């Protein structure tokens, strides 16, 4: 078995999908997990990107069906997490409107991130390192602070925190460890980016979101493809078992191998 075949098998990506089947399967997956966990619904952070938009659509479908089937309300709570002023925040709210989310919460993380960064800098000074937190380091603080906020809200509301990561992110390790930073459930995990886009169109994700360049929102102007040097079309082709340019294939496989720790449980003895 080639490394490509091994990666595809491990991530569970299918070369072709039936849209209705995938939506049904992933909705049922969410419903069953909510019922087994004894929680009252799902919490999804809506960034304004396509992955969180598709996830929000699946979550809302799942909790709406549970509410009808049980006669008791199950919630999908959409959370918006700008860092100061977010230029595309309207895309996040457009997603909430598209899926008629009754419950919406906005938590601005700017002050919390700033305080954490200052404490890190003070800590570094105590060992003689005099520097500001790096751009990448601050990006990681943002990602983790967002997750702290999500879990605090989910705990109070008895909800599961839903992650948005999928196979095209898993292959590159382009996520904070354990999905978007310690999530409870990842309904997109065996889809590649192209397949997520296919579901988006069927679910009714707003056009403004469909047309956006993928970004983790770690700093102004950051995009996944520029940072990794790998296009999502090539990434998706690879995960569908197709042949791609050898140089890009080598880069993708190298990225996969060096980020193995992100896809595994924390090692222990």
Query: Is the torsion defined by CA of 193, 259, 179, 11 positive or negative?
Result: positive
Distance, CA of 92 to CA of 74 (rounded, Å): 22
Q: Which pair of structure tokens corresponds to residue 246?
A: 């050898």
Count how many Cα atoms sit within 13 Å of the Cα of residue 197 in the half-sphere of its side chain.
Answer: 15
Query: Crossing angle of helices 232-239/193-203, nearest 10°?
Result: 100
Contacts of 106 (CB under 8 A, 6+ apart): 79, 80, 81, 82
Q: Which residues are catalytic?
A: 51, 169
Distance, CA of 202 to CA of 23 (rounded, Å): 9
H runs (alpha helix) in the chain: 3-11, 19-37, 50-70, 89-98, 110-125, 135-157, 167-170, 193-203, 207-210, 224-228, 232-239, 246-258, 260-263
């Amino acid at each position: 078995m080639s490394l490509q075949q091994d990666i595809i098998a491990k991530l569970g990506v299918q070369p072709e999908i039936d849209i209705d089947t995938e939506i049904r399967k992933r909705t049922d997956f969410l419903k069953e997990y909510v019922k087994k966990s004894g929680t009252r619904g799902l919490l999804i952070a809506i960034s304004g990107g396509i992955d969180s938009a598709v996830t929000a659509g699946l979550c809302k479908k799942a909790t709406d069906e549970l509410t009808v089937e049980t006669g008791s309300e199950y919630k999908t709570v959409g959370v918006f997490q700008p860092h100061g002023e977010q230029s595309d925040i309207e895309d996040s709210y457009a997603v909430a409107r598209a899926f008629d989310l009754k419950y919406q919460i906005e938590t601005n993380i700017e002050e919390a991130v700033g305080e954490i960064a200052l404490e890190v800098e003070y800590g570094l000074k105590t060992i003689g390192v005099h520097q500001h937190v790096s751009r990448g380091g601050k990006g990681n603080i943002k990602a983790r602070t967002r997750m702290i906020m999500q879990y605090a809200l989910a705990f109070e509301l008895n909800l599961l925190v839903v992650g948005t990561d999928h196979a095209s992110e898993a292959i590159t390790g382009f996520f904070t460890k354990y999905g978007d930073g310690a999530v409870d459930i990842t309904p997109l995990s065996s889809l590649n980016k192209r397949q997520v886009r296919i579901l988006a169109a069927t679910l009714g994700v707003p056009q403004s979101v469909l047309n956006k360049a993928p970004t983790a929102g770690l700093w102004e102007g950051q995009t996944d493809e520029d940072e990794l040097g790998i296009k999502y079309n090539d990434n998706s082709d690879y995960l569908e078992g197709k042949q791609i340019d050898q140089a890009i294939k080598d880069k993708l496989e190298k990225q996969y191998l060096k980020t193995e720790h992100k896809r595994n449980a924390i090692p222990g003895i």
